[in-house]
Structure 1
Amino acid sequence: MEDRQVAFISGPIDTGPNESYFHTHYVTKINDAIQRDHDFVIGPLPSGVDAEALAYLLAYPISPERITIFVTQAEDGMWGGHFRSMGVNLEVVEGQMTRDRDAALTRASTYDILRVRTKDEAREFYGRMWREAHITNTERNWKRRRGIAENEIVEELEINRSMGCSSDPPAPVKEKGCLARWVHEVFQD
């Protein structure tokens, strides 16, 4: 019997208008994992890839039992009840830092579904807020899986190629419904 495969889905906290980044870079890989009957682990953020992946999986639909959301103790206090009410699994990790949570997500999974924005994409997306040599949590997740030191420079194109992403982005995958509205409704107070 084959070991259960678990995908760690991670990415930026802002995916642009109409979740275009998510639909362009994540949906096809998530669909492949669903078809292979894999399970999923995700962070708890109420925006970006975390929220969009959760919404997408639940709308697919797959059983909430195949999804585990990892939270720090503080995040459990803010969002834990909400996730429990959805029927997904919730894992509260030791420590208070997002790095602690993300390290636990890596340990609990067998592979990643992720993509890192290229420098040009990040510069265009963030404008004056863009910072040269900024290491994103998504990049940290990729490096952690491979045992690469955080301060070791790996070009984003190399990261994306290793994840099966070409340098030319694929066309966005169109899905029914309004994911943004669902995410907004789910995470309202």
Structure 2
Amino acid sequence: MSKRHSAKHKIDRRLGENIWGRPKSPVNRREYGPGQHGQRRKGKLSDFGVQLRAKQKLKGYYGNISEKQFYAVYEEASRQRGDTSERLIGLLESRLDALVYRAKFVPTVFAARQFVSHGHVKVNGKRVNIGSYRVRPGDVVEVREKSREMALVLEAVQSGERDVPDYLEVDQNKLTAKFVRVPALGDVPYPVQMEPNLVVEFYSR
């Protein structure tokens, strides 16, 4: 797990923002970038630079999503009717690993991906071990009974660090979560401002 924590902190430092809102983020101690030149005054970003940064921030937030996977989500969002940036957020939040994190079954998005891949989660009573699995409104996600006493789960459930969003109905005693609806950008409790419209501009150049 240390490698993943290290990667997570590198993302925070590189972007200069505590994108998960965690108290242990290195940005809480120093807001400048990593390396010997991190404290130099930053030049003004070009439009492309602003868009790239927005893409890196949103992609980084969801943990281990590869560029290929992230672009595929954008492509799907662009094919759907309505606002592409809103659809993009809805698709990202419909991922099983994102939902497991939102439901507070695990403490981090990185842990959520691993938790799902190790077979600790069921969807509608069936075990699913694919983090990118698309959860539909009405689906019920639960932690397997054998996994409910894991230290990782107990730590997350008892943590007051973040709240469960209202597009989920969570029973913390049974460790179940019902996906009520696909959220819009304004429904998602990001600790920092996300700009999916800039991500759309980046990919549609």
Specify if TM > 0.5.
no
**Higher helix proportion (structure 1 or 2):** 1
Larger RCO: 1 or 2 (CA < 8 Å, sep 6+): 1
TM-score range, shorter chain: under 0.3
Whichever of the two has the greater Rg, that structure is 2
